[in-house]
Amino acid sequence: MTETLIAYHSSNDEELLPKRMLHVGSLAQARMRGGRHLHRVTLQPGIRMPRLRDHGSWNARTLMRHVPRARVAVYLNRHEGIPLEEFDAARARCDIDRLADDRFRRALPSSSDSWIVLDQDAIVSIERIDWP
């Protein structure tokens, strides 16, 4: 059985409405975003999630060209949720911007995946929770 994916989103909105292009990630990534409210987002189990390379930002046209008909896209987040000290240490050892995802993940163990919800029907629930 496929596990249900639990992810997080922080924003200044008390209520997070399901929408296209909703970015969710790990708790560490949500903390780094610094919104006043934290939301736990549950995604449907077993949905196809094509993997993308992190380009730093996304727009609908680019995403739809790379992942047509996908409900959710996944990528290794190379920016959020990673302590600055870990970035500095990795940069001193190598050019992390040129590393493939698997090598980046080894060089920066705090890095983790993020997801972009492209179809709001992929969301099972959104629940506002208190910051831990």
CB-count exposure of residue 108 (10 Å: 0-12, 13-18, 19+): buried
φ/ψ of 4, rounded to 5, equals -75, 140
The total of structural domains in the chain comes to 1
Q: Is the pLDDT of residue 55 over 70?
A: no
Nearest to 120 by CA among 66, 15, 68, 42: 42
Alpha-carbon gap, residue 131 to 114, rounded angstroms: 19
Of 23-27, 33-37, 100-104, 107-111, the poorest mean pLDDT is in 33-37
- Model pTM score: 0.87
Which residues span the domain enclosing 117?
A: 5-129
Reported as a pLDDT band with limits 50, 70 and 90, residue 108 is: very high
Reported as a pLDDT band with limits 50, 70 and 90, residue 2 is: low
